[in-house]
């Protein structure tokens, strides 16, 4: 499936660098920059880096930055985008990547909804995690995204049923440029929670993306619901430590 993105890598580069992709530049790039400033990880790996623009912006905040990308076309663009940086780039699937050390932060932006084997993907990410590692991934919000994009017809769509389809889409500020024939998998939220727990990863934070009114206005229409969501997961033992710290902090405030 990664090869389906090969023909669209140059398009995505133009959309991101021109600012036409509002969701990248105005919503998620600020989110991830704030995240690395808050967590201050020493090492960061992006699983499915696409054109490389996100990690290129984040690499200045970490000592070690690694990117993996299985699409040949995306990899070729990412090579150009990160040229001159210290980012290590590999053309691999996450299940084929091996590291001798865990990463403090693992991010995967708008990738997990593309993978056909969720267990293999999450299990492979878990292998890259150690004590205090955090896995952060963004997906289209399963509860609302089909109402927004209408990838599935009413007869095809059922929230609780996992379904995969080759889709076509465009970004708001570039409506005439279609990206077609790429995979999209709808899964209910419970499926993500179940698979994370299967690999002893527990969600310690969950964000429903809903930008401020001034950002929404750039799209030409208000958002009626969150279009994306972000999972933050830690290993079981580490998630209990975070939970205890939050409880202690709440007690102090009271």
- Determine which helix (DSSP H) or strand (DSSP E) holds 139, and give its type and residue range: strand 129-140
**pLDDT class of 240 with cuts at 50, 70, 90:** low
Copy the structure tokens of residue 28. 């998620």
- Mean pLDDT to the nearest integer, 155-163: 96
Q: Which two tokens stand for residue 20?
A: 């036409």
List C-alpha distances in Å: 201 to 5, 125, 131, 197. 29, 10, 12, 5
Q: Are 179 and 170 in contact (CB under 8 A)?
A: yes
- Rounded to whole angstroms, the maximal C-alpha distance in the chain is 56
Q: Which residues contact 186 (CB under 8 A, 6 or more apart)?
A: 113, 142, 145, 146, 151, 152, 157, 161, 162, 163, 164
Please give the Cα distance from 164 to 113 (Å, whole number): 9
For 195-234, write each residue's pLDDT tens digit.
999 999 999 999 999 999 999 999 999 999 999 999 999 9
Give the mean model confidence (pLDDT) for residues 6-27. Answer: 96
pLDDT at res. 4: 72
Give pTM, 2 decimals. 0.91
DSSP secondary structure string, 204-240?
Answer: EEEEEE---HHHHGGGTS--SS--EEEEEEEEHHHHH
CA dihedral over 157, 163, 168, 170, signed as positive or negative: positive
- Confidence category of residue 7, pLDDT binned at 50, 70, 90: confident
The token pair that represents 245 in the structure block: 């710290």
Domains along the chain?
2-253 (3.40.50.150)
pLDDT at residue 241, as a whole number: 52
pLDDT given for residue 5 in this prediction: 83
**Residue 3: pLDDT band with limits 50, 70, 90:** low
Tokens read off for 176: 């005439």
Q: What six digits make up the tokens of 135?
A: 């896995």
Average pLDDT, the chain: 93
Place of tokens 């669209």: 8
| Residue 237, pLDDT above cutoff 80 | no
Q: How confident is the model at residue 6 (pLDDT cuts 50, 70, 90)?
A: confident
Greater confidence, 2 or 66? 66
pLDDT of 18 > 90? The answer is yes
């Amino acid at each position: 499936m990664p090869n389906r993105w090969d023909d669209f890598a140059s398009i995505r580069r133009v959309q991101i660098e021109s600012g036409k992709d509002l969701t990248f530049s105005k919503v998620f790039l600020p989110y991830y920059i704030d995240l690395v400033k808050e967590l201050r990880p020493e090492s960061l790996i992006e699983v499915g880096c696409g054109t490389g623009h996100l990690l290129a912006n984040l690499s200045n905040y970490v000592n070690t930055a690694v990117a993996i990308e299985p699409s040949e076309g995306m990899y070729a663009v990412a090579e150009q985008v990160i040229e001159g940086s210290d980012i290590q780039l590999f053309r691999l699937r996450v299940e084929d990547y091996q590291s001798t050390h865990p990463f403090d932060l693992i991010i995967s932006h708008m990738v997990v909804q593309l993978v056909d084997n969720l267990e293999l993907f999450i299990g492979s990410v878990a292998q890259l995690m150690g004590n205090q590692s955090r896995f952060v991934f963004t997906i289209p919000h399963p509860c609302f995204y089909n109402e927004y994009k209408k990838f599935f017809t009413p007869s095809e769509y059922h929230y609780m049923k996992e379904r995969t389809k080759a889709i076509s889409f465009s970004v708001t500020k570039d409506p005439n440029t279609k990206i077609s024939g790429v995979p999209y998998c709808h899964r209910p939220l419970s499926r993500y929670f179940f698979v994370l727990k299967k690999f002893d990863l527990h969600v310690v934070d969950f964000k429903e993306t809903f930008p401020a009114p001034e950002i929404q206005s750039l799209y030409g229409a208000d958002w009626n619901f969150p279009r994306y969501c972000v999972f933050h997961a830690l290993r079981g033992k580490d998630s209990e430590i975070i939970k205890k710290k939050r409880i202690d902090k709440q007690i102090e405030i009271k």
